[in-house]
Each structure stands twice: as structure tokens, then as C-alpha cells.
Amino acid sequence: MGELRDLPVVVLITVPNSEVAEKIANMLVSEHLAACANIVPDVTSIYFWEGKVCKDKELLLVIKTRASLMRELVSAVRKAHPYTVPEIIALPIVAGFDGYLKWIEDVTREK
């Protein structure tokens, strides 16, 4: 298996309310763990938790960052997030506008 390159990634994080969303988004961007954070309101989440199907209204953070920052990003989010097991998942960006991808690299921390 090859070495994981420092690819740009999109990180998805669900949160319970706008206060938590803004707190986490501001923290990640301010600390250069993310280039950008979008807050998507009015997400309905249906999931299995503690033996039952649950349904909650949440917000979704869409974070743009680098794969190499994931360990630090996850640690920072876990400290600020009220959930016991928060959703923090990264999806690789396999293609995009070169200028935007370069911007993500430029404004996030060096490896």
C-alpha cells in the first residue's frame, strides 16, 4: 500500500445547534486547521444509538482542510463537541479548481 499523500479533504461534522456549529467552525478556521467551514442548517439525522432508532434535527459542518491535519482536527473538535461520539469523517477531494485547492493548502497549517 502506498504512502498517504497530503490530499485536500472535506470533513463532515454534525452538531446539535448553531452555537456549537459557529464555535467549532470559528475555532478550526482561526487555528488554521481548516481553510473554510460551511454551516448547513436544518439537517434531519436518523441513526441507531443505544439500541434504538433516533431522529434529531442537526446542522452539518462542511470543512475543507488537508488529510495531514485530521488527527489534530479530530482532537480539537472532540474537546469542543458536546456529543459522546461525534460524527467527524473525511472524504478525499479527488479533483477541483486548482486555484481553490491551492488556497486550501496555503491557509492551513504546514505538515
Please state the domain count of the chain.
1
Contacts 24+ apart (CB under 8 A), 67-73: 67/4, 67/5, 67/6, 67/7, 67/8, 67/9, 67/92, 68/6, 68/111, 69/33, 69/34, 69/108, 69/109, 70/9, 70/11, 72/33, 72/109, 73/11, 73/28, 73/33, 73/34
Q: Is residue 2 part of a domain?
A: no
pLDDT in tens, 1-10: 344 568 999 9
pLDDT tens-digit profile of 54-108? 999 999 999 999 999 999 999 999 999 999 999 999 999 999 999 999 999 999 9
Establish if 89 belongs to a structural domain.
Answer: yes
- The CATH number for 17's domain is 3.30.70.120
pTM of the model: 0.92
Range of the domain at 103: 8-107
Q: Is residue 1 part of a domain?
A: no
